Amino acid sequence: MWGTIATAAGVFAGTNVDDIIVLTVLFLSARATGRPRPWQIWGGQYAGIAALVLVSVIASLGLTIVPDEWVGLLGVIPFALGVKGLVAAIRARTHGEDASSVVASGLVSVAGVTIANGADNISVYTPVFRTIGTASTLVTIGVFAIGVALWCLAGSWLGSHAKIIATVERYGQWLVPAVFIIIGGLIVVESGVLTRIF
């Protein structure tokens, strides 16, 4: 049992390190602009991780929803959200308005970013769930649920520093979309999906 817990904690931490950056940016945006609301970040994170786990469990049973070689296309979601935020910032600057740094504004968009950012996790979770059995799978899912809470708390803590919030309030309309564009671009490029398309 303790071995399963330790393994699950290692798998979760190893596959979600980059998620800390996303959560920090989301909590910074929440503090600087009021959107997305903290409950939407928490709910979106849980919904996104739950979707990844569900797909992995289904895939571990031998049913493939999205072929592994095309999972990287999900990186288009954060990339598109980032581009949308950047376009909004450029329009606001052109018209002399205040631009919002909000890229993911609600539960659904936070869940979408979580799924896109963790799409590669499916290739790790699937063989784990395939080999550990039902009881260990349930323990692993429980550990993942605790991991999500710890990640949200860490992102909230990292995003609570006054100087960082002030920076996001000042430059967030450029920084937040740029982070999402970079994350989305990295997901697509590192997955190798571009070589399959072209």
- For residue 132, the model assigns a pLDDT of 82
- For residue 42, the model assigns a pLDDT of 95
- For residue 198, the model assigns a pLDDT of 72
- Residue with token string 């697509």: 188
H runs (alpha helix) in 96-161: 107-117, 122-158
- For residue 144, the model assigns a pLDDT of 96
Pairwise CA distance, residues 85 & 78, whole Å: 10
Query: Do the Cβ atoms of 110 and 30 come closer than 8 Å?
Result: no
Domain residues for the domain of 81 are 2-197
Q: Is the pLDDT assigned to residue 45 strictly greater than 90? A: yes
Q: Is the pLDDT assigned to residue 174 strictly greater than 80? A: no
Query: Do the Cβ atoms of 181 and 82 come closer than 8 Å?
Result: yes
Q: What is the pLDDT of residues 93-106, one digit of tens each?
A: 777 655 554 556 68
- For residue 101, the model assigns a pLDDT of 47
- The rounded percent of the chain whose pLDDT value lies above 90 is 18
Q: What is the pLDDT of residues 64-98, one digit of tens each?
A: 555 666 666 767 776 887 788 788 778 877 776 55
Confidence of residue 62 (pLDDT cuts 50, 70, 90): confident
Query: Do the Cβ atoms of 129 and 137 come closer than 8 Å?
Result: yes
Please tell me the pTM assigned to this model.
Answer: 0.69
Q: Tally the domains of the chain.
A: 1
Average pLDDT of the chain to the nearest whole number: 80
Pairwise CA distance, residues 79 & 51, whole Å: 20
Pairwise CA distance, residues 136 & 4, whole Å: 6
Q: What is the pLDDT of residues 4-36, one digit of tens each?
A: 898 888 888 877 877 888 888 888 888 877 888
Q: What is the pLDDT of residues 105-161, one digit of tens each?
A: 688 888 888 888 777 678 778 878 887 888 989 999 999 999 999 999 998 998 887
